Amino acid sequence: MGLSFKLTPRDVPSVKMQVLVPIMVTALTLLSGLAVFVAIGVDVGDAFTAYFIEPLSTLNGVAEWLLKALPLCLIALGLAVAYRANVWNIGAEGQLVMGGVFATSTMVLLQGTVHSGVLAVIMVFAGVLGGMLWAGLAAWMRTRFNANEILTTLMLVYVAQSVLQYVLVGSAASTAVLQDPNGAGFPQSATFPLEATLPLLASWMTLFEGTRLHVGIFLLFLIVPAFWVLMNKSFIGYQMRVAGLAPAAANYAGFSGKRLVWLVMLISGAMAGLAGALELVGPVGQLQDSWRPGYGFTAIIVAFLGRLNPIGIVLASLLMALLMLGGEALQLAMSLPKSVSSLFQGLLLIFLLGADVLVNYRVSKK
């Protein structure tokens, strides 16, 4: 007869362990990854160097690292707000795509009609609006029909990808509204003109010459503190915490559940849309049918690894960006598949979920 166990919720999960979990999870992920390198016969030292050291050994590598961390951090901040309120937005990837579609549409409509220094800013705001509208659909279905937002936001990802394909490929009965008319039929928009892109840091500081890092990175210095205040020092943040930890108590206190759902969904959608717009007016510079960055899904791991805390999310996004960048570097240096990066992300998620179970539950024999 095998042993059986039961999980008993802890009265008060250890705050110390909650803080230590990301560190332990990261260490376990690295150890497991090294074990995988050994198992497949790869020199561990070379692989470790190629994965974690070489990507950051040059200024250009650091710039690419920050470029990957920026959208992850923005999306994860928005998701953290929703998750704290017990609203499970899984579809940030779709909101990111719609942010890119709205930004590109704005470029097509306004190019040549507004001041060159303003167009990129308007495109970014349009991206925010696109993300909010897409998340708002899920909020409307949740508050109007009590539809599970996990399912609706996830399904809307595929709808958004279909919209992306439609505007770049068209149909038998209509033309593709965003397709480059001079693009020989390829499913992509025209390359964004200079006035529709954010200035590179290299244009201001010669130190960054040759890198793609743009001024959008400075948004983090405004957004991260703003989210910290929102989550920890505002009455709305208090309502989110109460709704997340004790929904019945939130109802008893008179907090409007529907208003909170709308608020957190719009915030999370706005951040995903912002990330999508910044990607296009920054390093990508063009909307393509194959644009599937995957940041919306990866940011879910970032949000939980950062313990739904803005500071933690910044650190987690840097770690996750390094894992993504390292996977690409490993592919070039040692001809290993890029999916090694996905392996590390998967290990990180598994260890994180397992550790959270142990932090919140006590394991005992039945």
Q: Is the pTM of this model over 0.75?
A: yes
Q: How far apart are CA 1 and CA 185, in angstroms?
A: 66
**pLDDT tens digits for 218-238?**
999 999 999 999 999 999 888
* Domains recognised in the chain with CATH numbers: 73-344 (1.10.3470)
Whether the predicted pLDDT of 255 surpasses 70? yes
| DSSP character string of 327-365 | HHHHHHHH---THHHHHHHHHHHHHHHHHHHHHHEEEEE
173 compared with 179, residue with greater pLDDT: 179
Confidence at residue 66, expressed as pLDDT on a 0 to 100 scale: 95
- Would you place residue 250 in the very low, low, confident or very high pLDDT band (cuts 50, 70, 90)? confident
Residue 1 has pLDDT above 60, yes or no: no
Which residues, including other chains, have CB under 8 Å from residue 181's CB and lie 6 or more apart? 190
Decide if pLDDT at 163 tops 90: yes
